[in-house]
Amino acid sequence: MLLIFYIFLQSILGLIGHCLYIRFGCVGFFLSIYLKLPAVYLCIFKFMNNHFYYVEGMSTAILLLNRLTALLWPLKYEKIWNKLWYWAIILAYLLPLTLSWHILISEIVIWVHDNETFSLYTQIKPDEPKDTLTTSWFSVLFTIICLLINIACLYVYKKTKIVSSQQTQSKQKTETLLTFYSLLTFFGQLLFTFYTIILYISSSPLQKFINPDLAELIFLSIYNQYAWVKRY
């Protein structure tokens, strides 16, 4: 029950942050309200969007570890995780603050496209961390971690003999749903990892090789696809 509530809460908070920071702007909702909001609210919107992306990445790794321990110790893993879940959830929510806290004091402006749709754009100072670089490194790191855990799960699964009974079959349905959710989230993050790498390259390194105006146009074109990429 705690796991289900955790997944639901994380998804809802992430969706709210995504809508406030990106989705409303893409469809042109509430532009007049956004233009009147103090800058701190725009920072909070971006913070929610980025922070809960990091939380989702850590949560995927934790869920995959849960699946791995279920295969390794099918009779003991529930007792193990009953003690670990609270600490795992606290860690998943608090540790990403080291990557996202600075967003709350960053400078975010509203970029109006056609008097209706708009984007929230961060003006990065030279001494501030680049969000695109941070997100790219985070995505790559956790993609590798989750891939290794998936390989370990597959290896253990092939080596494990499952005893069939009515009770185990009912339990296996729940285990299968959790495993499917974990794998689906992993592949979604894998695709998003490729996007963040492309976004980072267009935001900084590309400007060293082509005309700055063209590089900025390319970056904005890629950045404006963020909402659709994140959606899927």
Average pLDDT for 133-161: 80
Quick one: what percent of the chain has pLDDT higher than 90?
7
Averaged pLDDT, 66-73: 83
pTM for the model: 0.75
Evaluate if residue 44 carries a pLDDT over 90: yes
- Protein fold of 1-224: Rhopdopsin 7-helix transmembrane proteins (1.20.1070)
Query: 96: which 2 tokens?
Result: 């990403």
- Mean pLDDT computed over 50-67: 85
pLDDT at res. 203:
66
Domain range list for the chain: 1-224
- Tell me the percentage of the chain whose pLDDT exceeds 70: 75
Looking at residue 6, its pLDDT comes to 72
Give dist(CA 57, CA 85) in Å, integer.
16
Query: Which residue, chain included where needed, has tokens 């990091």?
Result: 54
Q: How confident is the model at residue 41 (pLDDT cuts 50, 70, 90)?
A: very high
- Identify the burial level of 210 via C-beta atoms within 10 angstroms of its C-beta, where 0-12 means exposed, 13-18 middle and 19 or more buried: exposed
pLDDT (0 to 100) of residue 10: 79
